[in-house]
Amino acid sequence: MTFVITTPLYYVNDKPHLGSVYTTIICDSIARYKRLVGEDVLFITGVDEHGLKIQRKANEMGIEPKSHCDEISKVFNTNWENWDISFDKFIRTSSNNHKLIVNEFYERVKSSDDIYMGVQKGWYCVGCEEFKDNPENSSTYKCPIHQKNLEWKNEENLFFRLSKYQKEIEEIINQPSFIEPIERRNEIINFVAKGLKDFSISRTNVSWGIPVPDHDKHTFYVWFDALLGYVSAMNSDTKDNSLEKSINKGWPADIHLIGKDILRFHAVYWPAMLISADMKVPKKVLGHGFLTREGQKMGKSLGNVLDPDLLLSKYGNDPVRWYLIKDISLGNDGDFQDKRFVDIINNDLANTIGNLLNRTSSMSRKWFDNKVPNNEKILGENKLKFYAKNAVKNYIQHFNIYKLDLAANEVLSLAINTNLYLNNNQPWVLIKEKDNLPLVKEIIYNVLESTRIIGLLLLPLVPELSSKINEQLGSIYKEEIPWEQQLSWGILVSNSILPKPNPIINKLEYE
C-alpha cells in the first residue's frame, strides 16, 4: 500500500510565497515521518499552470503563457530543492501526460451523463478562479483574499451535475476523518446543507487551457483541470499515461493538505467528480489556516510580504521549519513575528537542545577520554528513561493524528526535562569525589542517551539539525534499522568515541 500525500498545485502567477512554503514543509514533515515508520510514500507536489489568472499574468509580462510557465515552474522546482523538500513527483498541468488524463476523465464523467451545456452568469474572482456566491454590491465588492473587484461573467459553458451527488457528498463529509480539523468540517457541512449547485467546467474566453474535445473555443475550467493533476502525478513519468495506470500506482490519495481557502474544491467538488468517474475519493482533506505577519494579512499592497528566499538565506531551513511546525497549530491561523521567531529559535534549538548536547559532550570528553562513559546501569530504571519513553509514546500518538505542533512540543519537553535532570544532579560537583565516579558516568550517559532520542525525534521535523546531533554523538543512527526501534533506551554505546563538539545551531540576532 502506498501512502499518497499531496500539496496543492501552486499557481505560477508568482514565485512561492510563505503560504506555499508552509504547506509544503508540513507535507514534507508528514512524508518523512511516514517513511520513517516504514510506509511506502508517494509525495506529490507541482504547479497549476492554466487559466485566466496565468494567461493575464503572461500577457502583462508580454510573453507567451507557455514560456512564463516554464520559467516559474522551474523556480518552484528549484525552490523545493533548496528547502530540501523530499517530494517524489513534481507535476506540471501543462504537460501532455496530464492532458491525456484530463481527456480520459472527462469522457468518463460524460458517459455518466454528468455534463451538459448551460449558461453561466455570475461574479467571478480571477485571483481565486472561482465564482462567488452573489455578495451584496458585487461590482464594488472586493474578494477578501485578493482585495480585487469581482468581474461579471455571462457565457455558455459546459456544466458538471454536482447537484446529483448531494447525498453522497453529505455522507462523505460526515465521516469524522474526512475533513480535519473539525472547524473546517463544520464550514463545509454548512455549505453543503444549503444545497449543491452544478458548476461550470469549461470557459470560452480563456485560450490558455486544455481544449474540450468537440467544443470549439471551450477550454477546461482551471480547477477541473488542476485537481486532476493529483491523479496524473501518480504516474507522471510515462508518455502514455492513463487513468488506469495512475490508479494502479496507489490512488486514492491518503491526504490532500491544503489551505482553508480551497477547501470546497477539495472536499466537495473533487469527491463528486471522482465518484462520477467511478474512482475512489481521497481519504482525508487536511485544511490548514492562514499565515499573517505581525498580526496583519500579508499582501503586496501592504508591503509586508515575507520573502521565503530571504528567510532561507538569512536563517537557514531548520529554524523556519521549527517555527512554522512548532508554533502554529495545524488548522489555526498563525502569525509570523520576527522577534518571536528569533526568541523561539534561540530558546528551543540553540539553548535547550544545542547547549545541552554541547556541554554534556564536552564534560564526557573531558572526564572520559573523549568517549561516552561506561555506564553499567544502562538496563536499570531512571528518571530520564521514563521521560524519554513517555515523550516517544506521546510524540507518535500526536504525529499519527497530524498534530505536528504537539509532537514538536513533546521533543522540547524532553529536552527541558533533560536539562533539569542535569542541573539537579550537578555532575560537575560530584566528579570532585572519586567515589562518585559510577554515578557521574550514569548521569552523563543518561543525558547523552536522552539527547540521542531527541535528535531522532527531530528527524522528520528538522532533518538537518537532527543529523548534526547524530554526528555529534558518533553517527549511531542506522538507516537500515527501523527508526522506531532505535527510539528505545540504551542504544548509545558505552566507551564509544564522541567527536569534538561543534555548535549544532547558531544563535540568531534580532535586528
Q: Which three cell numbers stand for residue 432?
A: 570532585
Instruction: Rank residues 256 and 385 by Cβ distance to ligand MSP and give the closer one.
Output: 256
Instruction: Rank residues 12 and 469 by Cβ distance to ligand MSP and give the closer one.
Output: 12
Least distance to ligand MSP, CB of residue 111, Å: 24
- Residue of 328, 350, 348, 329 whose CA lies nearest to 337: 328
Instruction: Rank residues 10 and 341 by Cβ distance to ligand MSP and give the closer one.
Output: 10
Least distance to ligand MSP, CB of residue 222, Å: 8
Q: What are phi and psi of 116, to 5 degrees?
A: -150, 160
Least distance to ligand MSP, CB of residue 60, Å: 17
Q: How far apart are the C-alpha atoms of 111 and 107, rounded to whole Å?
A: 6
Asked if residues 173 and 192 have their Cβ atoms less than 8 Å apart, the reply is: yes
Instruction: Rank residues 48 and 180 by Cβ distance to ligand MSP and give the closer one.
Output: 48
Least distance to ligand MSP, CB of residue 89, Å: 14
Query: Which residue's CB comes closest to ligand MSP?
Result: 259
Helices (H), ranges, 345-382: 356-367
Instruction: Rank residues 231 and 372 by Cβ distance to ligand MSP and give the closer one.
Output: 231
Instruction: Rank residues 10 and 387 by Cβ distance to ligand MSP and give the closer one.
Output: 10
Asked if residues 393 and 386 have their Cβ atoms less than 8 Å apart, the reply is: no
Instruction: Rank residues 162 and 350 by Cβ distance to ligand MSP and give the closer one.
Output: 162
Least distance to ligand MSP, CB of residue 191, Å: 17
Cα 355 from chain centroid? 29
- Exposure letters 177-199 (e unless 16+ CB within 10 A, then b): ebbbbeebbebbeebbeeebebb
Least distance to ligand MSP, CB of residue 421, Å: 38
Q: To 5 degrees, how large is the angle CA 206–CA 209–CA 215?
A: 75
Q: How far apart are the C-alpha atoms of 368 and 376, rounded to whole Å?
A: 14
Instruction: Rank residues 203 and 385 by Cβ distance to ligand MSP and give the closer one.
Output: 203
Q: Which three cell numbers stand for residue 312?
A: 532561507
Least distance to ligand MSP, CB of residue 48, Å: 3
Least distance to ligand MSP, CB of residue 471, Å: 34
Strand 115-125 and strand 130-131: the pairing is: antiparallel
Could you identify the residue written with the cell 535547550? 352
Least distance to ligand MSP, CB of residue 129, Å: 8
Least distance to ligand MSP, CB of residue 289, Å: 7
Least distance to ligand MSP, CB of residue 307, Å: 13
Question: How far apart, in Å, are the Cα atoms of 148 and each of 125, 126, 142, 226?
Answer: 8, 9, 5, 23
DSSP for 220-260, please give it: E-HHHHHHTHHHHHTTTT-SS--HHHHHHTTPSPSEEEEEG
Instruction: Rank residues 262 and 458 by Cβ distance to ligand MSP and give the closer one.
Output: 262
Q: Give all strands (DSSP E) within 241-321, no chain letters.
A: 255-259, 285-288, 291-293, 296-297
Instruction: Rank residues 49 and 104 by Cβ distance to ligand MSP and give the closer one.
Output: 49
Instruction: Rank residues 231 and 350 by Cβ distance to ligand MSP and give the closer one.
Output: 231
Burial class (CB in 10 A: 0-12, 13-18, 19+), 308: buried
Binding site for ligand MSP (CB under 6 A): 8-11, 19-20, 22-23, 48, 226-227, 229, 258-259, 261-262, 290-291, 298
DSSP for 420-473, please give it: HHHHHH-HHHHTTSGGGHHHHHHHHHHHHHHHHHHHHHTTTTSHHHHHHHHHHT
**What count of other Cβ atoms lies within 10 Å of the Cβ of residue 58?**
21
Q: Which three cell numbers stand for residue 241?
A: 499515461
Least distance to ligand MSP, CB of residue 9, Å: 4
Rg (alpha carbons) of the chain, rounded to whole number: 26
Q: What are phi and psi of 351, to 5 degrees?
A: -80, -60
Strand 202-203 and strand 199-200: the pairing is: unpaired
Instruction: Rank residues 221 and 483 by Cβ distance to ligand MSP and give the closer one.
Output: 221
